Amino acid sequence: MDFFKEAEQNFKSLAENSHLSHSYFFFGESQKEIFNFAKKLANFLEIGKFGDSSKLLQDLSVIGPNEKGSIGIDEIRNLQKFLYYRPAVAKRKTVIITGAEKLTSEAQSAILKIVEEPPKQSLIILIGQNPENLLPTVSSRFQKIYFPPSPRLRRASPHPEKSEKEKKESNGDDQTEKLNEIIAKLAKDVKKNHLVLKEALNRLSLMKRFNLNKKLQVRLVESLLKNAKK
């Protein structure tokens, strides 16, 4: 089953049975996909439909980095006021913060105070690349969910033989997919695997930005994982 579909079913079940946590950190490469998923969850909490909203949701507030590329304490204070009002129609007042790594230390401290004693009917979702980029005291307060990229649609090649360039690119995609699978397994227990997970996420980021030997990067992560198990 597609991960996003499975996550949808899980979150719908949690919401319907009043088992949602007050705070989540959704992380992974596909920030746009993750953000869309978070909005669909907010839509489900307000109108009972897990999908794109056709109207402005009353009990949802979304913020991200400002023109300076950061999220400051004033934005968090405004969110705090928003959360402490009762929901108008939804089961939860939902806050989505994109680019979570851009939270200033003061803003993170303000969030920490909120999640330590969260309003009863509140839901805070942080979206970012890597929870390790937050202060440990803040990161530990959020339930972490890793979202792997959606499967790519692969077009069949009109020629039976691939060029050397196509073979290289195909192998690179396989290695990226392999590393994503490792990250997904590590993310099931972030607390236990946080050191290897941090390195795996860093390697994945480097693979996307630079022309590195992807097979070597995966082997390095596998070696770290092997040593961690000893």
pLDDT in tens, 18-75: 899 999 999 988 899 999 999 999 999 999 999 987 789 999 999 999 999 999 999 9
Residue of 159 and 14 predicted with greater confidence: 14
Could you tell me the two tokens for 206? 């480097």
Residue-level pLDDT at 77? 95
What is the per-residue pLDDT for 209? 66
User: Which tops the pLDDT comparison, 15 or 204?
Assistant: 15
What interhelical angle do 31-47 and 3-16 show, nearest 10?
A: 30
Residue pLDDT, tens place only, 72-93: 999 999 999 999 999 999 989 9
Cβ-based neighbour number of residue 96 at 10 Å = 23
For the domain spanning 3-146, the CATH number is 3.40.50.300
pLDDT value of residue 171:
52
Q: Does position 204 have pLDDT exceeding 70, yes or no? A: yes
pLDDT band at 1 (very low <50, low <70, confident <90, very high): low
Is a pLDDT exceeding 60 seen at residue 157? no
Q: What is the pLDDT of residues 98-140, one digit of tens each?
A: 999 999 999 999 999 999 999 889 999 999 988 888 999 999 9
CB environment 58-92: b (16+ within 10 A), e (fewer): ebbbbbebeeeeebbbebbeebbebbeeebeebbb
| Residue-level pLDDT at 60 | 96
- The domain segmentation of the chain, as residue ranges, is 3-146, 164-229
Both tokens of 108, joined, read 């993170």
Q: Which residues pair with 23 in a beta bridge?
A: 124
* Residues pairing with 122 in the sheet: 93
Q: Of the ranges 147-151, 163-167, 195-199, which is most confident?
A: 195-199
How does the average pLDDT of the chain come out, rounded?
A: 84
Q: In what order do the strands lie in the sheet with 93-98?
A: 60-63, 93-98, 122-128, 23-27, 143-146
Q: What is the pLDDT of residue 192?
A: 81
